[in-house]
Amino acid sequence: MQKITPFLWFDHQAEEAAKFYASIFRNSKIGHIARYDEAGAQASGRPKGSAMTVAFQLEGQDFVALNGGPHFKFTEAVSFVVNCQTQEEVNHYWEKLSAGGDEKAQQCGWLKDKYGLSWQIVPVVLFEMLQDKNPMKSGNVMRALLQMKKPDIEALQQAYHQ
């Protein structure tokens, strides 16, 4: 068991969201689903048998999703970074996670999925280029990135080598 587990609050879509995320990432699975019994359903106003919490893993990272009601929403104050080795990976995660999400919230590799959760789809080579000791190179990369929604590794590399 890992020491710290992200716990995600949903209105009523915890099971649906966990299955959605697990379908996108390899090495992922749905774990135990705790369902509301008669007493829990009465106390929460949720249907008996509906999911209360859903344990799941994405790439070996444990998560728990909770159907807690409409009281709280996700904000950009918390996001999950997906480190990508190739443009193919960037394209895959961008396409899958942004489907049905908020188009206005997409910039510089950031996106909001259809549940309102924020993700950063980041090519690992970007970190290397931005940390270059030559401020001209890293500046060119940052300017190029600021013009993008979905990161384009080739365009970032071109900016780096200008």
Q: Which domains does the chain have, with CATH numbers?
A: 7-67 (3.30.720.100), 79-160 (3.10.180.10)
Say how far apart CA 118 and CA 80 lie, in whole Å. 7
146 pLDDT more than 90:
yes
Looking at residue 24, what is its pLDDT? 98
Interstrand relation of 110-112 and 29-35 (parallel, antiparallel or unpaired): unpaired
Given CA atoms 141, 142, 148, 152 in this order, what sign does their dihedral have? positive
Give φ, ψ of 76 to 5 degrees.
-70, -5
Where does the pLDDT of residue 15 fall: very low under 50, low under 70, confident under 90, or very high at 90 and above?
very high
Given CA atoms 128, 130, 135, 140 in this order, what sign does their dihedral have? positive
pLDDT (tens digit per residue) in 80-93: 999 999 999 999 99
1 pLDDT more than 90:
no
Where does the pLDDT of residue 4 fall: very low under 50, low under 70, confident under 90, or very high at 90 and above?
very high
Comparing C-alpha atoms, which of 97, 155, 95, 86 is closest to residue 122? Answer: 86
